[in-house]
Amino acid sequence: HGLLFSDIPNSRIARIALSEEGSSITSFRYPSGNSNGLTLDLDGNLVTCEHTNRRVSLTDSSGEVRSLATRYKGKRLNSPNDAAVKSDGWVYFTDPPYGLMGMRQGKELPFNGVFRVNAEGSKLELLIENMEGPNGIAFSPDEKQLYVADSREKFINVYDLNEEGYPENEREFFDLDTGEEGVPDGMKVDTEGRVYSSGPGGIWVFEPSGNDGTGILLGKILVPEIPANCGWGEDGKTLFITARTGLYKIRLASKGTPVGPR
């Protein structure tokens, strides 16, 4: 057991073992293709968004890595950034170009998309193609809404998901552009439907309003440095926050929505 997080510049997935005596960090996978977003699929495999390999991969319990999504209609993906797994096994992920910065090969796709791929990796579908910089992604607890952060435009969109799992009725959930440093990046949702997103100054906590589901800002969890992503601990009541150089945690009264085997 341990907490996995991406150390993007050093191209490694690190594992931190947490105990009352302290914590120790080891490398879980190196090199990791400059991995970014991590989550678990329904079988407990590690879903990894890899920048320089330009793919979404699965790592099983033996450590074997295989590609889940690499190309859309023959063209290489940009640099998959973050992912969320729906209870039917589909993996939804964002594909902005951030991971291509400084690389020789450029974009092949003419858009920065949001995709979904089935659990077998045999079917890749484009869901959204009109965002400048799609980044963090999360489902509402009942999976009737999909949240996608745009870190270039500094807002979060919310979509209704129809019975087939396709997004409809796009609207702005919240605009986080305060002029300060920090953008909406990674986000998570608790079982009450509150949305936790990185942003200027820390983790912004929202509640969906009753009428159209757009966001009401409840408050912020202040973090000493610019946060990038967050994730729930094993008991669901600890929120871990990754930032520029540090990893932070905070205990909450609310419980996070589950990942991995349900």
Q: Which residues pair with 252 in a beta bridge?
A: none
Quick one: pLDDT at residue 39? 98
How are strands ordered across the β-sheet holding 195-199? Answer: 187-189, 195-199, 202-208, 215-222
DSSP the chain: --EEEEETTTTEEEEEEEETTEEEEEEEESS-SSEEEEEE-TTSPEEEEETTTTEEEEE-TT--EEEEE-EETTEEP-----EEE-TTSPEEEEE-SGGGTT-SS---SSSEEEEEE-TTS--EEEEEEEESSEEEEEE-TTSSEEEEEETTTTEEEEEEE-TTS-EEEEEEEEE---SSS-----EEEBTT--EEEEETTEEEEEEE-TTT--EEEEEEEE-SS-EEEEEE-TTS-EEEEEESS-EEEEE-SS-BPP-S--
Distance CA 226, CA 229 (A): 10
Quick one: pLDDT at residue 4? 97
pLDDT-based confidence at residue 10 (cuts at 50, 70, 90): very high
pLDDT-based confidence at residue 209 (cuts at 50, 70, 90): very high
Quick one: pLDDT at residue 105? 82
pLDDT-based confidence at residue 18 (cuts at 50, 70, 90): confident
Quick one: pLDDT at residue 59? 98
pLDDT-based confidence at residue 20 (cuts at 50, 70, 90): confident
> 55 pLDDT exceeds 80?
yes
Quick one: pLDDT at residue 218? 98
> 22 pLDDT exceeds 90?
no
Q: Which residues pair with 7 in a beta bridge?
A: 12
Distance CA 89, CA 93 (A): 13
Site of tokens 């440095």:
225
pLDDT-based confidence at residue 78 (cuts at 50, 70, 90): very high
> 1 pLDDT exceeds 80?
no
> 195 pLDDT exceeds 80?
yes
Phi, psi of 131 (to 5 degrees): -100, 150
Site of tokens 């998901």:
161
Verify cis geometry, omega within 30 degrees of 0, for the bond prior to 31: yes
Quick one: pLDDT at residue 150? 99
Quick one: pLDDT at residue 12? 98
How are strands ordered across the β-sheet holding 46-50? Answer: 35-40, 46-50, 55-59, 65-69
* Average pLDDT over every residue of 184-198: 98
List, in order, residues 6 or more apart from 105 with CB less than 8 Å away. 76
DSSP β-ladder status, 167-175 and 46-50: unpaired
Quick one: pLDDT at residue 211? 78
> 98 pLDDT exceeds 90?
yes
Give the rounded percent of residues in the chain with a pLDDT score beyond 90.
Answer: 92
User: Which residue ranges form the domains of the chain, and what is each CATH number?
Assistant: 3-251 (2.120.10.30)
Structure tokens at 200: 């200027």
- Go through the chain and tell me how many residues it has: 262
DSSP β-ladder status, 112-117 and 124-131: antiparallel
pLDDT-based confidence at residue 103 (cuts at 50, 70, 90): confident
> 21 pLDDT exceeds 90?
no
